A and B are shown apart, each in its own frame.
Chain A
């Protein structure tokens, strides 16, 4: 198992280096000069432009800037935002818990609903349940997030008044950030009603963010289950007279879970992409909204370091997924 983990970790090194190049290069490929964007319609004199570029280090050759970025990175310094002038790491750490909280709840919703729906659809293949749920999954998968979010807000918050429109908690509650996770902090605060307020604020954004992963997980679970249920060992188990519940629960589902776990792991990347839109609609102070703002302002340090942190996170989750295979399936770790 140790060798297995070590080999997986070793793969991360070149991937990580590749990501530094992509993250650094991506924002610089985009047209638009941050100094000009700061000046806006007013314009900026060539002299002032030169002074600012020098101050920000943009006048140096691109490879010098890259190695400077790498050098600082290895010292744990991600630079300062051009816009707020604050350290990128500090901003990331402030905003990250909000995204994680939203993402975890969303993936929980997606998994808890997606897997049973997929299993049921596979068992009752061709039934009305199968057809309706798989059509719904296709619709969910193609859902334009922005429109969907706004629609839910107008319906549940505007017309029915069931959920708050946006934000993380009602403004009447005010307590210091301890963990950054609103569900935990609201409990710690001991303020009456804070926790339920936090939950009610989480409902719409997490449902919106869960929509696409839910659809993917349901469809993946269904097809994996169908494949496994056609295998010899499942037929054998059935022929032995094993109760159907045990055949599905122990023999079929456990094996079908491998591709499903892969899918859930891959959804982390999808969640990050979805978070950008979801956070913007629901005024959710997370890293998705932060990245979008920074890209439009060409805030190089934030975009490159933010991308790196997000990519690092996705890599970490995928590593955990790989290790989980090892646990579920001994053949993989001994290969």
Chain B
């Protein structure tokens, strides 16, 4: 052991003699996961988009920093036809493509790139659809693009027209998502000729604020500032992602100065980070919701009054305190308060076990036994479902309801919880993709989503509620849409298909000298505005 100590000391002394020189504006981000690849279209993980779509690429329109509002990006402006079926985009001119050792662009970004980027996902016959065997475009499909986009027409080099099959209000928010990133058609041609098509995914070329430099699998991604960036140039010269999957280790690296910013601290570490004088932390309400979905097709849970009574029996604040250690807030609506159309006038079910018990008895419910499903994994909206389920078990016991907690492996959990006739109420949640209310209520609570393959785990189909959502989805006017969604939330609260549990708070710890970082309500990590104070 003595020898070991000597070796340790000797090696550390060596390491310290080669102390790091001041690196001119290199920003290191301790990211939590390896990117699946660098073409955003085939993938679905947020960590992949942080490494690809956000630094390297742009989209026609993008979310304004720190908001879910859509703003011009590669499209300078757009017009929507009166019937809501044609979107004509005027493209930005003079946008330069990045270059690498295999590719020097001969032209600027134009309409061909837009058509290439969409068509390769849309058409199975497109030469780039299967440029990697077995590749699929899950976001393009799940955002219903195949049935929505009828045609994409190149009007001229800098004008593109999207023809839709139906009016779709969330369309602009959808195409601001990472899967709709614009890739270079010319680069694709060069790769095709060189017989190295897979480099579209390995050696990305974009128009974004940073150029891809190198990726060492599961270890480090390096980017350099794009000097020709069409927008405001980044303030840092080099951006490095140090891939660090464990939250406790990420924090140690941040403290040791090995990186300047980290995502997803462990809830247990929040208090200590707040006290650390070398660190600071941004926080924001996450665009998410955690819920307990009853099976509304089974007695007695098919009775809204029983569901309401059970909701009254839950002490949700106690769950926030114990499971989130305060890093969250009680949810009363199915959408988070940071989302437009959130109906703040709605009053949540008051925690009242005595009234809950009386209400259950009034509905003839006695000696009720039920199952609560607890997810086996941590998600942003629910860090510890088993603990939450135990607290609910205690709450329900107080009103005479016996609860058995069950859990399955995650894949099986997702599958079995959507089986019709499922026994029990399911803990689950959702994190928004694009800030549109339809991305919550439509995906999770519409009649269509109660079908096999949907995500409506309450199997709740309320015609009136669904009609409001359908109307809102086809209405372009935001004020009108807001009213429709507010009304839908009233029906939701009255019918109580879920016990709405929480909206978790997101924290981003960083070194004291980091400036200009803006938290995204969508959970994206972008670094084009960050800087390091001297």
Q: Which residues in A have their C-beta under 8 angstroms from that of B42?
A: 85
Cβ of A80: which chain B residues have Cβ within 8 Å of it? 132-134
Q: A40-B414, A172-B21 are in contact. Are A55 and B134 (CB under 8 A)?
A: yes
Q: How far is the CB of B277 from chain A (nearest CB, A)?
A: 15
List chain A residues, Cβ under 8 A from B26: 171-172
Across the interface, name the chain A residue whose C-beta is closest to B220. Answer: A171
- How many chain B residues sit at the interface, stated as a range, is 35 or more
Q: Does A318 contact B (CB under 8 A)?
A: no
Residues of A within 8 A of B240 (CB): 171
> In the complex the two chains form, is A158's CB within 8 Å of B414's CB?
no
The segment from B252-260, B302-310, B360-368 that touches chain A is: B252-260
| B-contacting residues, A24-61, CB 8 Å | 30-34, 36-49, 52, 55-56
Judged by a CB distance under 8 angstroms, whether A197 is at the interface is yes
CB-based contact A33/B415 at 8 Å: yes
Contact with A along B170-182 (1 / 0, CB 8 A): 0000000000000
Contact A41 B430 (CB under 8 A): yes
CA gap between A168 and B429 in the complex, in Å: 37
Partner of B8, one of A162, A172, A193: A162
What is the CB-to-nearest-CB distance from A60 to chain B, in angstroms, rounded to a whole number?
14
A164 close to chain B: CB less than 8 A:
yes
Given A45-B452, A45-B453, CB of A95 within 8 Å of CB of B134: no
Question: Taking the nearest CB of chain B, how far is it from the CB of A50, in angstroms?
Answer: 10
**Is the Cβ of B244 less than 8 Å from the Cβ of A283?**
yes
Query: B residues within 8 A CB of A172?
Result: 20-21, 23, 26
A163 and B12 contact, CB distance less than 8 A:
yes
Within 8 A of B (CB), among A273-324: 280-283, 285-286, 289-290, 293, 296, 298
Docked-complex contact A46 and B411, CB < 8 angstroms: no
| Closest A residue to B33 using CB positions | A293
> Judging by beta carbons under 8 Å apart, are B219 and A298 in contact?
no
Contact with B along A167-206 (1 / 0, CB 8 A): 1101110100100000000000000110011011001000
**Once the chains bind, are B245 and A289 in contact (CB under 8 Å)?**
yes
Complex contacts, A136 vs chain B, CB 8 Å? 1
Q: Are A31 and B429 in contact (CB under 8 A)?
A: no
Known contacts A153-B252, A193-B18; decide if A199 and B242 are in contact (CB<8 Å): no
Q: How far is the CB of B89 from chain A (nearest CB, A)?
A: 27
Q: A172-B20, A200-B11 are in contact. Are A37 and B410 (CB under 8 A)?
A: yes
B8–A163 touching, CB < 8 Å: yes
What string of 1s and 0s marks CB contacts (under 8 Å) between B119-147 and chain A?
00000000000001111101001100000
* Closest Cβ–Cβ distance, residue B466 to chain A (whole Å): 17
Contact yes or no, A157 B252, CB < 8 A = yes
Q: Is A18 an interface residue (CB 8 A)?
A: no
User: Shortest distance in angstroms between B27's beta carbon and chain A's nearest beta carbon?
Assistant: 11
Interface string of B405-447 (1 = CB under 8 A from A): 0001111101100100000000011100000000000010000
Q: Which residues of B contact A83 (CB under 8 A)?
A: 36
A171 touches B242 (CB 8 A): yes
The CA of A296 and the CA of B412, in the complex, are separated in Å by: 12
Asked if A42 and B455 make an inter-chain contact with CB atoms under 8 angstroms apart, the answer reads yes
Q: How far is the CA of A55 from the CA of B130 in the complex (A)?
A: 11
C-alpha spacing A40/B410, complex, angstroms? 9
In the complex the two chains form, what is the Cα distance from A170 to B141 in whole Å? Answer: 41
Q: Is A21 an interface residue (CB 8 A)?
A: no
Interface flag for A101 (CB, 8 Å): no
Query: What residue of chain B has the Cβ atom nearest to residue A56's Cβ?
Result: B134
When A153-B252, A164-B258, A166-B249 are in contact, do A38 and B44 touch as well, CB less than 8 Å?
Answer: yes
For the complex, give the distance between the alpha carbons of A162 and B219 in Å: 21
Binds A, one of B109-117, B210-218, B388-396: B210-218
Known interface pairs A46-B453, A171-B240; 11 further A-B residue pairs with C-beta atoms within 8 A, sorted by A's residue number: A39-B414, A41-B414, A49-B453, A91-B217, A113-B3, A153-B249, A162-B12, A165-B258, A166-B252, A174-B214, A289-B218
Q: What 9 A-B pairs have minimum CB-CB distances, sorted nearest first?
A: A32-B411, A193-B18, A45-B453, A162-B12, A200-B15, A285-B218, A285-B219, A43-B455, A31-B412
Report A's interface with B, CB cutoff 8 A: 30-34, 36-49, 52, 55-56, 80, 82-86, 91, 94-95, 113, 136, 150, 153-154, 156-158, 160-168, 170-172, 174, 177, 192-193, 196-197, 199-200, 203, 207, 280-283, 285-286, 289-290, 293, 296, 298
- 18 CB contacts below 8 A, A to B, read A31-B408, A32-B410, A37-B411, A39-B414, A41-B414, A43-B455, A45-B453, A49-B453, A85-B135, A150-B249, A153-B252, A164-B258, A166-B258, A167-B244, A171-B240, A192-B18, A196-B17, A282-B249
